[in-house]
Amino acid sequence: MARKDKAHIFQLRNRNLISLTAPKSPITEQFRTVRTSIEFSSVDKDLSSIVVTSPSPGEGKSTITANLAIVFAQQGKRVLLIDTDLRKPTVHYTFHMENLVGITNILTKQATLGQAVQATGQENLQILTSGPIPPNPSELLSSKSMKNLLETAKNEYDLVIFDTPPVLAVTDAQILSHLTDGVVLVISSENTQKDSAKKAKELLESAQAKLLGVVLNNKKEEDNLYYYYGK
């Protein structure tokens, strides 16, 4: 499941914001392990921006993204989590916050980053929600305004994490993966088909994305082991 570099596959269970509500739990420790693996996956340069995506809907991608953002913030990094699923945004639901102003307002020059970000219950973690759903998500994400926003965010935060739509559904994840330092692909042991995972990997590679690793979600707890896959 890797490009030319090696990729890690971890088995995790879906538990909402467990990294925030139960920071000493075994599942939170698994998220820390994923965090460490992401950091070591790019030893030649510091990761300042990553995309988290999945092949298809319903694979736990947004929950994984939120918990990774939390454990990176718990490490002391200044983290910005951006909801770029501009068709079916969920980050504001996950963190129980308003979605009146978000990234779409910034990209259409109706707000600045400082005006749109929201604080969370986790120190060092801020959220940029989707904002109003636009008629042209892909065009907005591939715009010069998006590149400018990313550069501004990288100057203000140690790590920018993008929660994107599924790879096989629309091109948005491919667009953002080309702009960022790497991609984490979330697959479900219960839902993801092998062909879907393979196709998602191929699409990301065609966008010249660097696949940092794969998180295997929704694995039965009695089989809760780590797997390492190398090419």
Q: What integer is the mean pLDDT of 30-52?
A: 88
Residue 223: CB atoms within 10 Å: 8
130-144, 153-167, 214-228: which range is least confident on average?
214-228
pLDDT at position 228 over 50: no
Residue 50 bridge partners (DSSP): 161, 182
14-23, 52-61, 166-175: which range is least confident on average?
14-23
* CATH superfamily placement of domain 7-229: P-loop containing nucleotide triphosphate hydrolases (3.40.50.300)
Question: By C-alpha distance, which of 61, 48, 151 is closest to 106?
Answer: 151
Confidence of residue 193 (pLDDT cuts 50, 70, 90): confident
52-56, 138-142, 184-188, 193-197: which range is least confident on average?
193-197
- Reported as a single tens digit per residue, the pLDDT across 58-79 is 888 999 999 999 999 999 999 9
Q: What is the pTM of this model?
A: 0.87
Could you tell me which residues come within 8 angstroms of residue 94 by beta carbon, excluding any fewer than 6 positions away?
A: 16, 17, 62, 63, 66
The pLDDT mean for the chain works out to 86
pLDDT at position 14 over 50: no
Q: What integer is the mean pLDDT of 29-42?
A: 89
Q: Which helix (H) or strand (E) holds 8?
A: strand 7-12
